[in-house]
Amino acid sequence: MKLTVTQENLSRALSTVSRIANSRGSLPILSNVLLKTVDNQLIVEATNLDVAMSETIGAKIKTEGSITVPARLMQDYVASLPASTLTLEVKDSKLQLTTDHHSSTINGTPADDFPVMPVIEKGDVLEIPGSEFKQTLQQVLFAASSDEARPVLTGLFLHSIDGNLLAVATDSYRLAEKNVMKTDKDISLLIPASSLQDVLRVMKDDNAPVSIQYDDQQARFSVGSVELVTRLIEGNYPDYRRLLPKNSDTTAVLKLSDLQEITKVSSLFAREAAGGVTVSIDEEKQDVSIRSIASQVGENTAVAEAKVSGEAVITMNSRYILDALSAFSGESVSVNVNGKLDPCLLTDPDNDDYLHVVMPVKS
Amino acid sequence: MKLTVTQENLSRALSTVSRIANSRGSLPILSNVLLKTVDNQLIVEATNLDVAMSETIGAKIKTEGSITVPARLMQDYVASLPASTLTLEVKDSKLQLTTDHHSSTINGTPADDFPVMPVIEKGDVLEIPGSEFKQTLQQVLFAASSDEARPVLTGLFLHSIDGNLLAVATDSYRLAEKNVMKTDKDISLLIPASSLQDVLRVMKDDNAPVSIQYDDQQARFSVGSVELVTRLIEGNYPDYRRLLPKNSDTTAVLKLSDLQEITKVSSLFAREAAGGVTVSIDEEKQDVSIRSIASQVGENTAVAEAKVSGEAVITMNSRYILDALSAFSGESVSVNVNGKLDPCLLTDPDNDDYLHVVMPVKS
């Protein structure tokens, strides 16, 4: 292999894929990054066996070839070079990298030992506008569980109902559901949330569409020059829709920023109570108040004006409320409560694309 | 105690002093912050027994008084409140804090138990322009040792020689010395570097002078509305001046950014060798090259043009070189070498206020 490539392009590709290589290595070669010439381009690739990520960049290829080199060293090294043209050449499993004032030799491993990126041969293809997909991931992913004991809850469930494509995630304490777009396909994909965090990380603000090719076992995301292949999670997603409250006895509509502020302040006094704060919705006063008590340090009550119908008192984890509110971007938020042990539904009164459910805690 | 104060002022003072309280608490009350009215102002104060820091802010005092409350909770709480006027009132060792939409009670401890900020009654006073003092700390402090086994090396030595005020720090592997300004005083203060880090943290860019009042045992720094009192370190500072190279057999002058770049790149291959890189100064080629070898991962050579007189090869820790170079701000840097086991002197050829010495490592 012999080629020239710009420092900017190589550095960008290395920083995109190297995180995959660094994060979870069991086999030594998984801490390496693969450099491989294909069709007068250079592919930079890393994998941790669950996920494989590659970026294809322009390069002037003199001799075709491939090698794998330590990802972290290679990334740090190329990033620290000045903007210039780099010459890469493989000799005896060593990568020689030269530029005007620098010449280095990095010991590598032949590419034959590197796990091959899985190919999806038949699979269907789904295309989603970039901004919609990015917003979906930002609004839903954080609600997924990180507890491997229930693998299905560590995924984002992308499925179609009545011509709508829905994305949902839940850790059983809270649930987020986004209506992504209309679709005429019949879709049911359970995608690891961690893989989607990697997809989110490489998404730019250019609104380029995201293409998802999938079969029963894996999915390939294409975002610009980056490709990511992930396994899918096996198992049936819980029938969460029958748990969503259909209507509510009590509803309070208030400014999103007000509810964020009073929840945040109250959460400071809720550390002792594992984050639990008591939300009171008062129809007579037309306000929402949040009370938190820590016997050691003190107590706090914070109030915000609201448009209220009905009365309710419910205790919830303040962190879950704050997480949920960060997913809303409208002016107002609607808090919908039934009994004090029933799920609390948060919605945007001006936009019904997104809903969030927080389970109460016993107080 | 009863008073009103703006959220902005109280939040700023709490964030200034609270780090002292949080960092090293042995007695429970040291994790508290003291609020105390004096002369129609509010003093916010924290201490860890080595250092005491206070900020004085404007307030409308209705009743004089004082209390101590948990520093972290108080800081987080006030920071999360909206910009507004806060009412603070002490009742039965509890601090009641109210604003339009928030009311809280924070359990406190009477101020009688709080260690009194030491007073320097006689002591001399030294005044240093803010920008000079800030630059001095940035250029010198990092060279101090963090090893408590030799306490004198954990300090910055501020002393006068021949009408000049010099600041120096060394951990015995490298040494930084700054000529701060002219002085007609006879000064010899050994100040804990950690206390000066706290001073540096509160210094603004407004070039307000720093006033240092000192006696044999402690020093008080006044920076705007903030005061910091620190103990001084006992013991004699090493006679470092006789170790400074008087003249050099070999000198290379090169662009500061060039030397930074080639050192940084080389350091990536020096991890195995505990950071050691070999610097070669070549009179014939008129360049400086840095070579680093890691048997496992590879090797690197980086070259930069230089104005060279003499020849030398010396092995040094790349981290110490990079630390040193970050203290220079001129266009060029001069590397002065005698034998390969003699200290290497780094200076700015256009400015003789600052010098840095790096000891070689055996290669």
- Give the residue from A32, A77, A84 with the most B CB atoms within 10 Å of its CB, the best one to mutate: A77
pLDDT at B117: 83
CA distance linking residue A49 with residue A57, whole number of Å = 23
Q: Are A51 and A17 in contact (CB under 8 A)?
A: no
Q: Is B94 on the interface with A (CB under 8 A)?
A: yes
Band (pLDDT 50/70/90 cuts) for residue A143 is very high
pLDDT in tens, A154-205: 999 999 999 999 999 999 999 999 999 999 999 999 999 999 999 999 998 7
Which of B262, B298, B301 is facing A107, going by the closest CB pair? B298
Mean of per-residue pLDDT scores for chain A:
94
Asked if B300 and A262 come within 8 Å (Cβ–Cβ), the reply is: no
Asked if B105 and A298 come within 8 Å (Cβ–Cβ), the reply is: yes
State ipTM: 0.85
Asked if B81 and A265 come within 8 Å (Cβ–Cβ), the reply is: yes
Helices (DSSP H) in chain B: which residue ranges?
7-23, 71-80, 130-140, 193-202, 256-267, 318-326
Band (pLDDT 50/70/90 cuts) for residue A363 is low
Could you count the other beta carbons within 10 Å of the beta carbon of residue A142? 17
> Which residues on A lie below 8 Å from B297 (Cβ)?
70, 73, 106-107
Give, as one character, the DSSP assignment of residue B154. G
Which of B73, B103, B300 is facing A268, going by the closest CB pair? B73
pLDDT at A23: 52
pLDDT at B207: 81
B90: closest CA of chain A, how far (Å): 13
Q: What is the mean pLDDT of residues A117-144?
A: 93
Q: Are A308 and A252 in contact (CB under 8 A)?
A: yes
Q: The tokens of B235 are what? A: 């013991």
Band (pLDDT 50/70/90 cuts) for residue A64 is very high
Q: Is B75 on the interface with A (CB under 8 A)?
A: no
Give the residue carrying structure tokens 């979870």: A24
Q: Is B207 on the interface with A (CB under 8 A)?
A: no
Give the residue carrying structure tokens 């879709």: A187
One CATH from 3.40.640.10, 3.40.50.80, 3.40.50.1820, 3.10.150.10 for B2-113: 3.10.150.10
pLDDT in tens, B230-261: 999 999 999 999 889 999 999 999 999 999 99
Give, as one character, the DSSP assignment of residue A109. B
Q: Is A102 on the interface with B (CB under 8 A)?
A: yes
Q: Is A104 on the interface with B (CB under 8 A)?
A: yes
pLDDT at A117: 83
Tell me which residues of chain B, numbers 267 to 306, contact chain A at a CB-CB cutoff of 8 Å.
268-269, 296-304
B173: closest CA of chain A, how far (Å): 26
CA distance linking residue B184 with residue B82, whole number of Å = 50
What share of chain A has pLDDT > 90, as a percent?
87
Q: Is A76 on the interface with B (CB under 8 A)?
A: yes
Band (pLDDT 50/70/90 cuts) for residue A50 is confident
Could you tell me which of A66, A60, A56 has the C-alpha nearest to residue A16? A56
Q: The tokens of B334 are what? A: 């001069």
> Which residues on B lie below 8 Å from A265 (Cβ)?
77, 80-81, 102
Sheet holding A188-192, edge to edge: A188-192, A155-161, A164-170, A174-182, A351-358, A344-348, A332-337, A250-255, A307-309
Asked if A301 and B104 come within 8 Å (Cβ–Cβ), the reply is: yes
Asked if B300 and A268 come within 8 Å (Cβ–Cβ), the reply is: no
Can you list the residues of chain B whose pLDDT is less than 50?
Answer: none
Q: Do domains A124-242 and A245-358 have the same CATH topology?
A: yes
Could you tell me which of B117, B33, B30, B112 has the C-alpha nearest to residue B68? B33
Asked if A265 and B103 come within 8 Å (Cβ–Cβ), the reply is: no
Strand duo A66-70 + A85-91: pairing: unpaired
The angle subtended at Cα A202 by Cα A199 and Cα A203, nearest 5°, is 85
Asked if A301 and B82 come within 8 Å (Cβ–Cβ), the reply is: no
Q: The tokens of B140 are what? A: 């010198």
CA distance linking residue B289 with residue B45, whole number of Å = 52
- Give the residue from A84, A102, A303, A318 with the most B CB atoms within 10 Å of its CB, the best one to mutate: A102
Tell the CATH superfamily of the B124-242 domain: DNA Polymerase III, subunit A, domain 2 (3.10.150.10)
> What is the value of pTM for the model shown?
0.89
pLDDT at B90: 97
- Give the residue from B268, B293, B325 with the most A CB atoms within 10 Å of its CB, the best one to mutate: B268
> Which residues on B lie below 8 Å from A95 (Cβ)?
298
pLDDT of residue A308 exceeding 70 = yes
Q: Taking CB atoms and an 8 Å cut-off, how many pairs form between chains A and B?
A: 89
Give, as one character, the DSSP assignment of residue B85. E
pLDDT at A25: 58
Q: Are A298 and B107 in contact (CB under 8 A)?
A: yes
For B218, half-sphere exposure in the C-beta direction (CA atoms, 13 angstrom radius) is 16
pLDDT at B23: 52
pLDDT in tens, A264-282: 999 999 987 789 999 999 9
CA B307 centroid distance within chain: 34
- Domain-wise residue ranges, chain A: 2-113, 124-242, 245-358
pLDDT in tens, A328-350: 999 999 999 999 999 999 999 99
Work out whether the CA dihedral A251, A252, A257, A260 comes out positive or negative.
negative
Strand duo A307-309 + B51-58: pairing: unpaired
Asked if A105 and B299 come within 8 Å (Cβ–Cβ), the reply is: yes
pLDDT at B25: 58
Tell me the CA distances in angstroms from A260 to A312, A314, A356, one per residue in order. 19, 17, 15
Asked if B298 and A94 come within 8 Å (Cβ–Cβ), the reply is: yes
B143: closest CA of chain A, how far (Å): 24
Q: What is the DSSP string of B289-303?
A: EEEEEETTTEEEEEE
Paired residues of A59 in beta bridges: none
> Which residues on B lie below 8 Å from A290 (Cβ)?
none
pLDDT at B272: 74
One CATH from 3.30.420.40, 3.10.150.10, 3.30.499.10, 3.40.50.720 for A245-358: 3.10.150.10
Closest chain B CA to residue A102: B302
Asked if A80 and B301 come within 8 Å (Cβ–Cβ), the reply is: no
